[in-house]
Every structure is written in C-alpha cells, then in structure tokens.
Chain A
Amino acid sequence: MSLTRLLSMITRTGTMTEPVADAPIEIREGFVPPACLRGSAQVRHVDAGSCNGCEIELGAAFGPVYDAERFGARLVASPRHADVVTVAGVVTQNMVEPLLNTIDATPNPRVIISIGDCTRGCGVFAGSYAVAGSVDDFAEVDVHVTGCPPAPEAIIAALRAVTRR
C-alpha cells in the first residue's frame, strides 16, 4: 500500500474505539484486587485446551474497537512480566503442568481470570479422556467470565475489575 493511501486511510478511519458497555462477570467472594495493580495490569494468556473461540474474543478485546489498553491492560510475552493470568478452555492432560508452571512463574501479587464456560464444568468436553478437569480444580480463580464464547465487553469488565479504571 502506498504511503498516501495509508495516510488517507488513517485520517478517514479516525478512532474506532467504542464506549464500553457493562457486562456481567463473577467475582470470587472475598476477592480484593491488589492495590498495586490499580491502573496497570499486564496479562499473560494460557490456552489450556480451548476451542479458540475465547482467544478470538480476547484478541478483539485488545483490538481497536474495544481497546483494553485504555483501561491499563496489556498482553505480554512472559508470565514473569504478567500480573494477570487469563485461562481459557478445559484443562487437558498435557496442559496441567504448563498451566501450573505459568501460574507459579507469575510474580505476586497475581490475579487469575478464567474465560468462558469451559473453565467451569468443562462444557461440551466434560467426560473426555483427554480432559484432566476444569480450571477451578487446579487453581483458585479470582474472576470468572461467563459465555461461550464471552463477548469482549465481558472480558474487558473482568480486566477493569482488576485495574479499576
């Protein structure tokens, strides 16, 4: 694409971000978001055995329309850099250890967010020989986002419950 066409596209498009809509999320009883995460939370995502529906919605939450970055959330490349671990999908046999390792590798204070109905009760995958359990069986989940897949608004509401912006 030529420079002028790119420039005209940028000026024509302007800002695509929409005002955020409220969405229901489930917060663990007694969960207090860590004080130091106010206004800034880096997110490491773990796909523990998801169908990738939740990942598409998570990607959209960080895209131009929903723009989770305006609330201080950002995706990072390493659990060492992260404050929030998001988990999507059922936990398959092969992902039990990587999931626990990722959570262990995240510095305290950390928050665990589970995304999608599969993380509670395994959804349609319940009973499969490849499934070791749901996320609840392996870690204490602080915020749960319902939906199959959940809307980006709900994922943003969960992140805002941590950053409080």
Chain B
Amino acid sequence: MIDSVVVIVVHLVFALAITPVLIGVMRTVRARLEGRVGGGIVQPWRDVLKLFAKEPLRAPGSSPVLTWAPLLLMASSLVLCALIPLVSTLPLAGVPGELFVVVSVLLLGTVALAMLGLEAGTAFGGMGSSRHMVFTALVEPTVLLSIYALSVPAGTSALAAIVRSRRDDLSTLLNPVSILAIAALIVVVIAETGRLPVDNPATHLELTMVHEAMILESGGRDLGWLEFGSWLRLTALLGLTVNLAVPWAVAGDASWTALLVGVAATTVKLVAAAALLAAVEVFLAKLRLFRVPELLAGSFVLAFLSVSASYLVF
C-alpha cells in the first residue's frame, strides 16, 4: 500500500516537473532547426506560471462548462500520469491500471475539451470540437487494439504488467507484433496530442486549427489548466510509448535506487523522443483534413495486423 502511494507520488511529481521542460525542448529544437534561438527550455514554465497569475476572463452568459472543463482536463491528465507506468511498473494496490481504465480516463479529458469548444457557441469552437471527436473516434480503437496486441504475450491487460513483462523478456521486443503495434501507437499518440501532421500546435490559421480552435475562448487561469493538461497528456502518452518500445531501466518496485534509476532513464527516453518528434515535425506539412482519417485508418490496420499476428507468433 505504502509502495503504491510512493509510486503514484513519484509519477505525479515527475510528470509535473518534466512536462513543461519537455515542451520547451520540443520548441527549442524546432526553433534551432528554423534558424532561431527560441525562448529556451524553461519558457513553458514561465508561460504557465504567468497564466496561473492572471484573472480568467469569461464571457457574460457563459455556462459553468467554461470553468470546470479545464479542471476536468487537468484532473484526468493527472490520473493518467499516475496510472501509466512512467517510472515504475509496480502494480498499484487498489487502483485499476487496466488498459480500458486508462483509455476511458483519456477519453474523459477529450470530452471535456470538446464540450469546452462547443460552450462558446462560436463557429471555430464547434469546428474544432467536431474534428477532435472525429479523430478520437478513430484513435481510441487503435490505442486499445495496439496495446491489446502487446498484452497477449504478457497475459494481462494491466499496463504496468505489460511493460514489466516486456522489460524482463526482451525477446518480445523485436518481433512483427511488437513493431506493428508500436508503429500504430506512435501514429495515434501524434494524433491524440495534436502534433504535425494531424494538427499544427503553432498555427493561428482559423481553418487549420483543431486544438487551438477549442481553447480560443479561455484565458488566464483557465487557459493555464488547459495548456498544462494537454501537455501532461503528451507526457503520459509519449512516456507509455517509449516505455513499451524500450522498457529498459524502468523500476520494478518502489525502492529508492530503482525509482531514481527509473526517473533518470525515463527522463532521457522522453527528452530523446520529444526532440526526435520535434525534429521530424520540421520536415512535415500538415495533412489535409480529409486525409487524416486515412492516416488513422492506416494505423488501425497496423494495430489489427498486429493482433492477428500475435496469435501466430505466440
């Protein structure tokens, strides 16, 4: 019980501390490749602390959704970070770490964002929300299916147990099932966190916005929760993907040395993955909206093939 509490606290503190730095690394890599200096890797920290210090400005006549949706997104992201084996694969006592629970929590944040987009009644908000839900409808089955394929050799759908079994039995890392599932997972993580080529996090062009369009009407502290919540989702999903793809040095228990090694290893893996993601983004253009479902359907096919193959391989 104590061990589970320690692991959850470590997960939360780790995620809260590293998330803005991760965004800072991505922005800096992008700025350097564009020939700029950029704001530095702690700039997202400054941005978010400033937002928390500002009064939220809400339009007269707006409903409570404008207030609670950002909090719901932030809360769901924190739960996500606690449940996903970022640092330690210790099965949490009394807390379900099941694949289906994690995907439901992910969906909770998505729905909060979509409700927020609809709340203001503006054209952009509704457009952003409808696009977001289309992507979600294609992304969620792929997340379920690809991790399900990885769960077959582990014999359980608890994420911590999947990562642990992959760490202990390295032969499960390099086989068609694993590679197809990880490839599918990478595509859906990019779509779910609103990165290129699905959504452009830096765009201000009204017709190409998805994530930006939904949060246009939030300001001050509300926007701070929204930004931090979305960034935490990126950390959680990226952390899950790298720990499934390269599960080395993830802690197996709650001892301090193991946790310290786990924190260091996950930090290195996350920063490397984020830098790689940002570098690849420089070479990509945003996909036309009607091509995005093709990309996501492709990733679903990869996940489906992965599940089919798992019955042949194992």
Contact = CB atoms under 8 A, between A and B. Distances in A.
Interface of A: 3, 6, 10, 13-17, 36-42, 64, 67, 69-70, 72, 74-81, 83, 105-109
A38 B43 CA distance: 11
A38 B47 CA distance: 10
A105 B209 CA distance: 20
A117 to B, nearest CB: 27
Contacts of A37: 50
Contact of B54 (A3, A64, A78, A109): A109
Contact of A107 (B31, B57, B204, B206): B57
Interface string B197-230: 0000000101001001001111110010000000
Given A40-B43, A109-B54, A70 B38 contact: yes
B46 A40 contact: yes
Interface residues of B, number: 33
A6 B219 contact: no
Contacts of A42: 47
B55 A81 contact: no
Where chain B touches its partner, the secondary structure class is: loop
A77 B43 contact: no
A80 B212 contact: no
B54 A69 contact: no
B17 interface: no
A26 to B, nearest CB: 25
Interface of B: 31-40, 43, 46-47, 49-50, 53-57, 204, 206, 209, 212, 215-220, 223, 282-283
A82 to B, nearest CB: 8
A6 B36 contact: no
Contacts of B57: 80, 105-108
13 contacts: A3-B283, A10-B33, A38-B46, A39-B50, A40-B49, A40-B50, A41-B50, A72-B39, A74-B39, A74-B47, A76-B204, A107-B54, A107-B219
B223 A16 contact: no
A83 B209 contact: no
A70 B39 contact: yes
A69 B220 contact: no
Contacts of B34: 64
B49 to A, nearest CB: 8
A105 B46 CA distance: 22
B35 A14 contact: yes
Query: Which 7 pairs show the lowest CB-CB distances between chains A and B?
Result: A80-B219, A36-B53, A77-B204, A40-B46, A107-B57, A16-B35, A64-B35
A107 B36 contact: no
A118 B218 CA distance: 32
Nearest to B34: A64
Given A40-B43, A77-B216, A108 B54 contact: yes
Contacts of A41: 50
